[in-house]
Structure 1
Amino acid sequence: MGAVVADSGFDFSPGAQVPLQGAAGQTAATNALASAAYRDSSVTVLLDANNEWHKSGVSKGRLSLFEPDLGEAFSRAVRVRMLGGARKALIQSFGTEPQTVVEHCLAATNIRKARDTKLTVIMAVFGLLFLPGLLLWLAVFQLRRTIAGAKDKKSGALGTALLVAVGGLVVIFLIKLPFDGLLGIYLRAMVVAPVIGWLWAKQVCETTAKDLRERWASLLSGGGGVGPKIPEAVPRDPGQSQAEELRQGLARLTAEQQSNSVFYAGPKGILGMGTRWGSWQLAEELHSADPTKEIHGFRSWDVIRAIHDQLRMLERGPLHTGGFPTPSVKHWIVAPVGENAGEVSRPDGQDVDQYLIKTHEIQRICNEQQFGAGNRHYLGVQFTLWDGQLVITMLITVTVLHHTLRIEVTGHALGPVHPLFTTKPAAKTVTVGKTVKFWETKTRQLPLMGTNDVVRLSVRAPFTWFPNVLDFLGGKLTLPEPFGLRHVWAEKPWRHRFMADDAMRAATPVLRVVHTAAIKVLEDHGVDTERFNGRSSMLSGLVQDPAPRKADLYDA
């Protein structure tokens, strides 16, 4: 086992392959996650989206004046984690298009870079040339942020009073300044120039904020959103190495999303698929139907192949009632990892081609690795429902130990993304009393960018070309590992009545198809199926138990 790197034999020869945004059945979850790249709320709100198993964090910087907002921190963290040259293996994001999310992170970064370029020029003209005055104002704002960050409301009011007091002192300073000539002019300009620069920067920040919020709202409106524009992902000549690396990174991300290897992390379940909520096992002894003859030889793969063929026709039924959508039926190789594993590594070698384990190796694992060390084979049927918000996966494994054939069906469910990602932008307003009719109130709309926001963005702008320095000064978002966009921010589906119903309704038909196909193979090979039929009928009744279990915790 070893981590796969970009030069591990993956063929990057085709041109930039950008999948259509919002593939069928996967738009809601994808757009919800992508919208985080355009948000301007505090980065700490993302901590509310932490679930039972996966917890993101925010590392504190040296100065709160340099701290990023949610969109800035999310875009950088996701971009580095999913496209970085030395990145670790990723967990598949079932029900979403991770490349689309990354492309929106890149597009949001480009929008902010254009804004930061203008802000850097403003800082150079109105800040660097009048550095003493700029530092004085920044010291006041940093002190105000520090005081306002206290939990005591009186401290926040004290910070505002401090800013007003300094403004009053500035006015007195400008009027009573004892210096004349060039020195007097410079000293006065030193105090006034940063304020002029702030007014200009405010217009730049407000325009960009409106653009980002429009994209945020568009993604959540159901219309697919404004497509991400990342021209740097398409190299125009052989010398554009950065563009080629980005193109390869996006292609590698898409290839890893299609990998057929997954990881079982103990009580956390299969990473990317969710915990096991139900398990049904049919285990009986193999006896010949004719005592005078032996059973015709067969292997686990023969049973699995028959089950695979029948599962592909799940969407067909005798009645025109809608029924199942077309499921994804796929062979999975499952590797065990520790419950608190900080990383995973995908199999490599001659049996792996572009993150996909080859068919002959899948067949060998299915037939031979059923007991003891090693990876295991599962046949999976997966339904992506509710626009990608619900992913139901039923896994089937067949084992033969001594004279006992065991067919096990387990149910895994991955719920919707946290509601934080589905909240639309709200206008910033304040309710105040009327001057004359003081018993009445009126609502006034505020600018999207307040004074603190403009100062923060202006200070950060010159450092955006040195992201590591910016991380040191302002802090950054820490993503949970092993990382995958979908499962780390997924909620449990059981609180949503219809999602819970869908998960439990899928179990019975899948179980019956599996048993029917398996028993047909046994009959064809001369096996007495009387006990198998009896056990199958009993399980068909047990599977209708309406309560989901915590099967992976073994506490049901």
Structure 2
Amino acid sequence: MTPGAQIPRTDTGPQTAITQGLSSTAYRDGEIQGFVGAVTDATAKKGRFALFRPNLGEAFSKALVSRALGGARKPLVPAFGVDTRQVVEHCLAAEELRNTRDRQLSTVSIATGVLFLPGTLVWLGAFQLRAWLKRDNPKNAAVYGGIVLAAAAALAVLLALRPPATGFIGVYLRVTMLAPVIGWYLARRIVERSAKDLRSRWQALVEGSAVAATVAKAVPRDDLDKKAADLRDKLGRLDAEQETNIHHYAGPKGILGAGRRWGEWRLADTLHPAEGHVDFRAFHPWDLIRRISSHLKGLGVSHVANSGMPNVAIKQWVVFDIGEGADEISRPGNADMDGDRMRDFAVQSVADKQTFSGGPRHYLATQFITHDGKLVLTFTVTVTLLANVLNITVSGYALGPVKGVFFDKPKDKEKSVAKTVKFWEERTVKLPLIDNDEVVRQAVRAPFYRMPGLLTWLGGGLGLPEPFGLRHIWAGRAWENRSMVDNAQNASVPVLAAVHAATLEFLEEHDLDADRFFKNRTSIIKSEAQSPRPYDVDTFNAG
């Protein structure tokens, strides 16, 4: 039995830019510290030996694959505006490209390194000392590092010309320091070819080109290929998990994955029968929620050409409260759940329950993904009945674009040096894409590519913040872009209008007095929706 054709995932849609920017990180080079400093929401795990340190792409891919596909992992926060599976698949594809490179490097390392171990250890010791000098004394690292390598080279020449033994041992000592140099030359060619391939993918993703993330090891070769079937199932679960209707409110952080609450509008009044009626027709909150939902679905249609709101998504959410500093989220594991989703009848039950005593709450969410996925706008509607008072709350949440580092393009390596004649002036010199330190780093890591845990112990890695979601932890402020602010405020008015229209229509159908108070309150709230700036509602600061 042979696997079917693999169709590269080149999804397009409103989330393309963010997805490709995050995916490009899997193919990047460079140090972890620069990335950690730019995003501020990740940590660099220190290793035991600088020579085994991973670069950014290696560390990011391993950390994300482990977090997203690990066996006993915690739930992920939904990443609105991002195709999480596609990003993880790019990390798997990048790992496979590096594994192919490492298999070639391992062959070279064994043939020219392990078989000539004494000389290899001398060279590795020199490069390890050079790496320590770069880390602890970067100003003089070039001078001291050059002295260390010159000493190792002098020893190689001395052994080649005057070995301290004769016969087979003498021949062995002649080449024991030279064979690793030949290995370095072969390894450099492999590393350069791999670096150019990875950088081309990084460049294409950031520029918006469709780059396929083909994950061959997720395609079972036959019915007994359990490892591939398990990986395929885990990737499928990522898609299902992103469609969960269980969410978490983390205090001032807002709804995890949707951002902070920036606006709130309330419509509340005591229920009175309409004129000519002794009583009104009884109803449940869920009945009104369904009516509001049907009106919100009409936001994509308009009597004026090209004025419908695109990409409107209406969702029924159940939201749990957690602390602002919580380091994990959880979802119920009872009969009300169908995988990562709460069943429809259970969602309706939560919507109809009295929430004054606590517990999860129902939110009717209307979501817009705009600016090519960079801005996620969410408006939630909650309906509560308390002491014969109907309270309808509309809240606005905004999740801004991810940090700019995810859109950085690969750059040529350069440094500034003093001019020969006009020594007081500087000129820029282009450096090789791969230097000696990088060749040695990859060559010593290569034989351990099947032992990622040991590599992390030796060289360190990247720590991801919790609760982890592929989007909200990297998001910046939404209000630093004028058009994003305009989108948020402009979208609030039609959402409020739809909620109010549905409410008035519903009240009249159930023989309730809508004219007495609600219609006047509607006009007031519409004027409030035209506020000149967003508020920090979750910090209870309306100033």
User: Which aligned pairs between 1:238-317 and structure 2 lie closer than 5 A?
Assistant: 238-290=223-275, 292-317=277-302
1:83 to 2:83 alignment: no
The equivalent of 1:161 in structure 2 is 147
Q: What amino acid is the match of 1:324?
A: M
How far off its partner does 1:433 sit? 6.6
The equivalent of 1:379 in structure 2 is 364
Which range moved further: 166-175 or 431-440? 431-440
1:188 to 2:188 alignment: no
Determine the C-alpha separation between the residues in 1 that align with 2:370 and 2:331.
28
Is the CA contact 2:161–2:174 (under 8 Å) kept in the aligned structure 1? no
Is the CA contact 2:8–2:212 (under 8 Å) kept in the aligned structure 1? no
Determine the C-alpha separation between the residues in 2 that align with 1:72 and 1:350.
40
Q: What per-residue deviation string (whole Å, max 9, x for no partner) do you get for residues 463-490 of structure 1?
A: 1111111111111111111111111111
**After the TM superposition, which parts of structure 1 deviate over 4 Å for at least 4 consecutive aligned residues?**
15-20, 430-444
How far off its partner does 1:261 sit? 1.1
1:29 to 2:18 alignment: yes
Which range moved further: 26-35 or 339-348? 339-348
Determine the C-alpha separation between the residues in 1 that align with 2:193 and 2:9.
29
Determine the C-alpha separation between the residues in 1 that align with 2:8 and 2:181.
46
Match of 1:170, SS state, is: helix
1:344 to 2:302 alignment: no
Q: What amino acid is the match of 2:189?
A: Q
Which range moved further: 376-385 or 511-520? 511-520
Q: What amino acid is the match of 2:30?
A: S
Is the CA contact 1:336–1:375 (under 8 Å) kept in the aligned structure 2? yes
Match of 2:191, SS state, is: helix
Which range moved further: 206-215 or 82-91? 82-91
Determine the C-alpha separation between the residues in 1 that align with 2:275 and 2:213.
66
How far off its partner does 1:360 sit? 1.1
The equivalent of 1:92 in structure 2 is 78
Q: When the two structures are superposed, what TM-score results if normalisation uses the length of structure 1?
A: 0.92
The 3 A distance-change label for structure 1 pair 240 and 283 is same
The equivalent of 2:120 in structure 1 is 134
The 3 A distance-change label for structure 1 pair 158 and 327 is same
The equivalent of 2:35 in structure 1 is 46
Match of 2:390, SS state, is: strand
1:459 to 2:444 alignment: yes
Q: What amino acid is the match of 1:192?
A: L
Determine the C-alpha separation between the residues in 2 that align with 1:223 and 1:50.
24
How far off its partner does 1:543 sit? 1.4
Determine the C-alpha separation between the residues in 2 that align with 1:17 and 1:115.
22
The 3 A distance-change label for structure 1 pair 19 and 542 is farther
The equivalent of 1:488 in structure 2 is 473
Determine the C-alpha separation between the residues in 1 that align with 2:128 and 2:113.
16
Match of 1:343, SS state, is: coil
The equivalent of 1:538 in structure 2 is 524
How far off its partner does 1:77 sit? 0.7
Q: What amino acid is the match of 1:110?
A: E
RMSD: 2.1
The equivalent of 2:206 in structure 1 is 220
Match of 2:181, SS state, is: helix
Is the CA contact 1:99–1:250 (under 8 Å) kept in the aligned structure 2? yes
Determine the C-alpha separation between the residues in 2 that align with 1:19 and 1:344.
32
Is the CA contact 1:16–1:233 (under 8 Å) kept in the aligned structure 2? no
1:354 to 2:339 alignment: yes
Is the CA contact 1:66–1:456 (under 8 Å) kept in the aligned structure 2? yes
Q: What per-residue deviation string (whole Å, max 9, x for no partner) do you get for residues 494-538 of structure 1?
A: 111111211121111111111111111011111112211111111
Determine the C-alpha separation between the residues in 2 that align with 1:328 and 1:19.
26
Q: What amino acid is the match of 1:313?
A: G
Is the CA contact 2:249–2:256 (under 8 Å) kept in the aligned structure 1? yes
Is the CA contact 1:22–1:30 (under 8 Å) kept in the aligned structure 2? no
Is the CA contact 1:93–1:485 (under 8 Å) kept in the aligned structure 2? yes
1:401 to 2:390 alignment: no
How far off its partner does 1:19 sit? 8.9
User: Which aligned pairs between 1:357-506 and structure 2 lie closer than 5 A?
Assistant: 357-430=342-415, 444-506=429-491
Q: What amino acid is the match of 1:92?
A: P
Q: What per-residue deviation string (whole Å, max 9, x for no partner) do you get for residues 6-28 of structure 1?
A: xxxxxxxxx99989433311110
Q: What amino acid is the match of 1:194?
A: P
Q: What amino acid is the match of 1:44?
A: Q
Q: How many residues of Structure 1 are paired with residues of Structure 2 in the alignment?
A: 538
Q: What amino acid is the match of 2:186?
A: W
Match of 2:275, SS state, is: coil
Report percent identity of matched pairs.
45
Q: What per-residue deviation string (whole Å, max 9, x for no partner) do you get for residues 370-412 of structure 1?
A: 2222211000000011111111000000101012111101111
Determine the C-alpha separation between the residues in 1 that align with 2:197 and 2:9.
23
How far off its partner does 1:320 sit? 1.9
Determine the C-alpha separation between the residues in 2 that align with 1:190 and 1:204.
22
The equivalent of 2:217 in structure 1 is 232
Determine the C-alpha separation between the residues in 1 that align with 2:23 and 2:151.
43
The equivalent of 2:536 in structure 1 is 550
1:209 to 2:195 alignment: yes
How far off its partner does 1:265 sit? 1.0
The 3 A distance-change label for structure 1 pair 140 and 266 is same
Determine the C-alpha separation between the residues in 1 that align with 2:354 and 2:344.
15
Is the CA contact 1:17–1:251 (under 8 Å) kept in the aligned structure 2? no
Q: What amino acid is the match of 2:32?
A: V
The 3 A distance-change label for structure 1 pair 484 and 405 is same
Q: When the two structures are superposed, what TM-score results if normalisation uses the length of structure 2?
A: 0.95
How far off its partner does 1:317 sit? 2.1
1:115 to 2:101 alignment: yes
Which range moved further: 516-525 or 99-108? 516-525
Is the CA contact 1:16–1:234 (under 8 Å) kept in the aligned structure 2? no
Is the CA contact 2:354–2:384 (under 8 Å) kept in the aligned structure 1? no
Is the CA contact 2:493–2:529 (under 8 Å) kept in the aligned structure 1? yes
Match of 2:113, SS state, is: helix
Q: What per-residue deviation string (whole Å, max 9, x for no partner) do you get for residues 149-208 of structure 1?
A: 125513453223332343244334433444333222211211111111111100000000
Determine the C-alpha separation between the residues in 1 that align with 2:102 and 2:149.
25
Q: What per-residue deviation string (whole Å, max 9, x for no partner) do you get for residues 280-312 of structure 1?
A: 111111111226511111111111111100100
Match of 1:130, SS state, is: helix
The 3 A distance-change label for structure 1 pair 17 and 436 is closer
How far off its partner does 1:440 sit? 9.2
> Which blocks of at least 5 consecutive residues in structure 2 are unaligned?
none
Is the CA contact 1:61–1:474 (under 8 Å) kept in the aligned structure 2? yes
Is the CA contact 1:206–1:447 (under 8 Å) kept in the aligned structure 2? no
Determine the C-alpha separation between the residues in 1 that align with 2:8 and 2:239.
9
Match of 1:313, SS state, is: helix
Q: What per-residue deviation string (whole Å, max 9, x for no partner) do you get for residues 302-337 of structure 1?
A: 111111001001022232244411300111111111
The 3 A distance-change label for structure 1 pair 532 and 234 is same
Determine the C-alpha separation between the residues in 2 that align with 1:197 and 1:17.
36
The 3 A distance-change label for structure 1 pair 344 and 439 is closer
How far off its partner does 1:546 sit? 2.0
Q: What amino acid is the match of 2:172?
A: Y
Determine the C-alpha separation between the residues in 2 that align with 1:91 and 1:333.
14
Is the CA contact 1:392–1:413 (under 8 Å) kept in the aligned structure 2? yes
